[in-house]
Amino acid sequence: MTDFFRRQIFNIIAAVFLALFVLVWATVLLRVGTWVPTGTAEAPELNGALVTAAGVLATSLSSLTASALGFTIAEVKRDSAAAGDTSTLVSPAQVATRLSGRVIFAIMVYMTMGMLVLVVWLFKGQASTDLIGAFALSLLGWLVGAAGVVFQTEKTGA
Among 34-38, 98-102, 154-158, where is mean pLDDT lowest? 154-158
Q: For residues 133 and 117, give the distance between their C-alpha atoms in angstroms, rounded to a whole number.
A: 8
What's the pTM? Answer: 0.81
pLDDT at 153: 60
Average pLDDT over residues 86-101: 80
Confidence of residue 68 (pLDDT cuts 50, 70, 90): confident
Q: Sign of dihedral through CA atoms 104, 105, 110, 111?
A: positive
The rounded Cα 43 to chain-centroid distance in angstroms is: 25
The pLDDT mean for the chain works out to 84
DSSP string, 71-132: HHHHHHHHHHHHTT---S---HHHHHHHS-HHHHHHHHHHHHHHHHHHHHHHHHGGGS-HHH
pLDDT tens track for 8-62: 898 899 999 999 999 999 999 998 888 877 777 777 888 889 989 998 999 899 9
Confidence of residue 155 (pLDDT cuts 50, 70, 90): low
90 CB contacts (<8 Å, ≥6 apart)? Answer: 73, 76, 77, 80, 153, 155
> Residue 16: how many CB atoms within 10 A of its CB?
10
Nearest alpha carbon to residue 45 among 127, 110, 158, 104: 127
Confidence of residue 104 (pLDDT cuts 50, 70, 90): very high
1 CB contacts (<8 Å, ≥6 apart)? Answer: none
